[in-house]
Structure 1
Amino acid sequence: MKDKYKVCSLFAGIGGIDLAFQQAGFEIVWANELDSDACKTYRYNFQNTVLTEGDIRKINADDIPDFYILTAGFPCQSFSVCGNRKGFADERGNLFFEIMRIVDAKKPKIIFLENVANLTEHDNG
C-alpha cells in the first residue's frame, strides 16, 4: 500500500480491531476509549496513535483528525441475548448514535462496526 489509509477507532478497547488494521498496513491516527485500564494497554500497544480517554459523548468531531475508515466495537450488552436486550432504550445502546454523529461530521469512506449478531433484530432492525 503506497499511502496508508488512515483509521479512526471508536470504543477502541485494548486495540484488537486496530491491531488487525495495523497489521494489514493501515495507520490508526486517532482512537477513543472510556475504560482507563483498557487505555493503559492500548497506549502500550499503539504508542504512535493519539488516544483520547473519556466519554465519546464529550468528543467534538472537529477535534478528530481526518481519516478514511471509521471502526467501532461499541457496547453489546443492550443487544446481546446474554444482556438486558433493551436495545436503544438502554443508555449503552444509544452509544450507536454517537458513532453516527461522528460519521455525519467526518464522512468516512468506510465504516467498520463490530457487535453481536442480535443487533440486527433489535428496534425493528
Structure 2
Amino acid sequence: MNSIWFSRIYYVFGFLALVFVILIVTCSEVAVLMCYFHLCAEDYYWPWRAFLTAGASGYYVFLYSIIYYIQRLTIDNFPSAVLYFGWSLVMSLLFSILTGTVGYFAALVFVRKIFASIKVD
C-alpha cells in the first residue's frame, strides 16, 4: 500500500513475481477443492461458485485497505477519502476478477479431466 499511495518505487520484482505465482497456485487449489466438495455433494452448479470462491480474495484486499486507511493514513477531507475508497474498490474488484478467473479455469480443467476419465461401457 505504501508503494501505491505514497508514490514510492518498488524494486523487489522477483519477490513480487514469486508471490504472484503462489497466489495463482493457491487460488487454483482452493477453487478445485471447493469444486470437488460440491461435486461430491451432487451440486453441479460449480462455475459461479468456483469464480466466487477464488474471487473472494478481493474482499480481503478491500478490507485491508480499510484497515490501512484507519491505521496509517491521515486523510482529513471527505473528497480525498472518497477518492481513496473509490480507487481501492476498483483495485479490489479487478483483483477479484483476476483471481476468480484463475479459479474458474482451474475448476474447468479439473472437471474436464475427471469427467474425461469416466469410462461408460
TM-score by length of 2: 0.29
TM-score by length of 1: 0.28
Question: Which is richer in strand?
Answer: 1
Question: Which is richer in helix?
Answer: 2
Between structure 1 and structure 2, the one with the greater Rg is: 2
Q: Which has the higher contact order (CA 8 A, sep 6+)?
A: 2
